[in-house]
Structure 1
Amino acid sequence: MARLHVVTGKGGTGKTTVAAAMALALADQGKRVLLVEVEGRQGLAQLFDVPPLPYVERRIAVGPAGGEVFALAVDAEAALLEYLDMYYHLGRAGKALDKIGAVDFVTTIAPGLRDVLLTGKVYEATRRKAHGRLAYDAVVLDAPPTGRIGRFLNVNHEVAGLAKVGPIRNQADAIMGMLRSDVTQVHLVTLLEEMPVQETLDAVEQLEALDLRIGSIVVNMVRRSPLDDETLALAVKEKLPVAELTKGLRAAGITAAKGMLTTLAAEAHDHAVRVGLERENRDRIDALGKKVTELALLPDGIDHGALFDLAEELRS
């Protein structure tokens, strides 16, 4: 039933890339998907190599089966002007407020209102209908990082000191109703490293305390070790057999120069220690009891082809 997919993660984990791949994965069999960003970074434009996104929904990609991905960069000031026109019919008066800086002033002194406006636009797009059916089959939100995601989504709390009644309060209540329903799932992107995993654990606890549904934990940039468990155990103890290393080098047509075996053994030790730490972090993620999705590290970086490869991984 989920139609709104909120993607969050610690900075540097690739959450924007995962959100884009998820949108492509959902754009299957002719489906229309809206991919939204709210942080003002224009990360989607850079990722899809298109001009900076305006406050207008624009098609940026076509899925493998003909589905379409539209993108929108939500700007709080523009969203406020739209809100004022929709509920108070200010029209030109609202634009005049923007020119004198009043709009920016309001969203600066009331950051909770900014989040209501940003999530409000996502709420509207998720529920919007055209020609008797939903305008979008799914909406994917490239949300703020895990350190801020609870506050960002808890719009009721953010407006508690701003409005007890009235349109703003009503909109906040309606947004929270949708976020807590089966329509919405929150996906958390992490790496198998200490800080991203800890932030993921903290975010899951915080989100569940807000009655928000966790969709999946996406473990990104996964690297497979070429060594088996027995060899890894020897490498950790720095007991790799020199004869085997020498034999392997000769088989590859390489003459073992002085110091090469020591260097290789040290590299293997460092690799084995890292693999051990990654496995410990993976155990911490598995202990959450959530659905876990792995995406492989793409050593050549991210381009259009890589995005479609990630989308295929998510689909499968």
Structure 2
Amino acid sequence: MTPPRDDDVLAPDWRGVRLHVVSGKGGTGKTTVAAALALALAHGGRKVLVVEVEGRQGLSQIYDVPPLPYAERKVATAPGGGEVFALAIDPEEALLEYLEMFYNLRRAGTALRRMGAIDFATTIAPGVRDVLLTGKAKEAVRRKSGNKHVYDAVVMDAPPTGRIARFLNVNSEVAGLARTGPIRSQADAVMEVIASSLTAVHLVTLLEEMPVQETTDAVDELTASKLPVGGIVVNQMRRPLLAATAQAKARKGKLDKDAIAHDLATSGVVTPNGALVGSHGGVLVDDVVRALAVEGAEHAERVALEQRERDNLEVLHRPTYELPFLADGVDVGTLYELADLLREQGMA
């Protein structure tokens, strides 16, 4: 039975989704979002698996645990007794597991690894590699103990938006490699999950031109491939520091410099001779005012740019969630705060 939700938390937008795929342009923080989403989904006693497929060990760094092996390890506890497990999917180990499962060739697979044949196979047939990676996530989604799923949800820290549709659409990737047989059967089984209502592909972006454009392109590609587009997470949000009227003046270079100087004086940071308190070089208030006016103009221009990109995202008509810019970076403590924000906005 699902535990009751707090009254101040929205009903989740993705009820029924069991595989949450998280993608985004490099540098947007998709791994951080995947880790926070796993914690959010585990809230209230649920058991969640978060997997990475790129071999970067990004999850281990964020959760502050040793490098992840090709095995499911507990990495965090969520409020209410929930548990987060993590797995770094290694293509080589996944292939050996595949050979044992379908051909009983584990020992032969070990010999192939010594010969370098596994690297050769996954290099010349990258579609097979993607089948192995997505297949492991699919297996975790379907896995049961008795009549109950082992995991309430699975989160995948997926490849960047530039190749997410190709990565997930494994049927088309293996079409020229295998029309029948175990590889094709595995691809079909993967697509039964990924192309269904059990899956949502969430996209992480910043309010910048290139990330927003890649997000738009990814939505188009996923839609064309008939893959389920999820929500959009706008990461590293910065709140405007100026009122709307002041922002308009700042963009035009018309901030009231006398008012800025007056505020500096009344705040006690200016000496009687018009220098900045504590400045060894005798920095004058006029210099500071000019510098602040320039910073104000740059900030106002940034705010206007972000609003234009926000408008571009609204055209996509997808649920949107916002996470703040964290000046001190992300640690385990702030990861829980991000998870709470995702829950408050209804993502989990």
Corresponding residue number in structure 1 for 2:303: 275
Question: Is the deviation greater in 248-257 or in 20-29?
Answer: 248-257
- Of residues 80, 87, 110 in structure 2, which corresponds to 1:95? 110
- Of residues 194, 203, 211 in structure 2, which corresponds to 1:196? 211
2:324 is the counterpart of 1:309 = no
Is contact 2:41-2:153 (8 Å) kept?
Answer: yes
Corresponding residue number in structure 1 for 2:64: 49
Corresponding residue number in structure 2 for 1:294: 322
2:275 is the counterpart of 1:247 = no
Q: TM-score, normalised by structure 1?
A: 0.98
SS in 1 for 2:23: strand
**Equivalent residue pairs, number:** 316
> Aligned ranges for residues 1-80 of structure 1 at < 5 Å?
1-80=16-95
How far does residue 227 in structure 1 lie from its aligned partner after superposition? Answer: 0.6
Paired with 1:139 and 1:251, the residues of 2 have a C-alpha distance of 56
Q: Which has the larger radius of gyration?
A: 2
> Aligned ranges for residues 129-208 of structure 1 at < 5 Å?
129-208=144-223
Counterpart residue identity of residue 309, structure 1 = E
Q: TM-score, normalised by structure 2?
A: 0.89
Identity %, equivalent residues: 60
Question: Is the deviation greater in 18-27 or in 45-54?
Answer: 45-54
Corresponding residue number in structure 2 for 1:109: 124
Paired with 2:69 and 2:151, the residues of 1 have a C-alpha distance of 19
Paired with 1:213 and 1:251, the residues of 2 have a C-alpha distance of 57
How far does residue 243 in structure 1 lie from its aligned partner after superposition? Answer: 2.0
How far does residue 170 in structure 1 lie from its aligned partner after superposition? Answer: 1.2
Question: Is the deviation greater in 113-122 or in 125-134?
Answer: 125-134
How far does residue 251 in structure 1 lie from its aligned partner after superposition? Answer: 2.6
Paired with 1:28 and 1:242, the residues of 2 have a C-alpha distance of 50
Corresponding residue number in structure 2 for 1:86: 101
SS in 2 for 1:267: helix
Per-residue deviation, residues 198-244 of structure 1 (Å, max 9, x unmatched)? 00000000001111112210000000012111000000011111221
SS in 2 for 1:35: strand
Is contact 2:45-2:79 (8 Å) kept?
Answer: no
Per-residue deviation, residues 160-191 of structure 1 (Å, max 9, x unmatched)? 11101111111111211211111000000000
How far does residue 272 in structure 1 lie from its aligned partner after superposition? Answer: 0.5
Paired with 2:329 and 2:105, the residues of 1 have a C-alpha distance of 47
2:237 is the counterpart of 1:218 = no
Counterpart residue identity of residue 278, structure 1 = E
How far does residue 298 in structure 1 lie from its aligned partner after superposition? Answer: 1.2
Paired with 2:265 and 2:240, the residues of 1 have a C-alpha distance of 22
How far does residue 287 in structure 1 lie from its aligned partner after superposition? Answer: 1.1
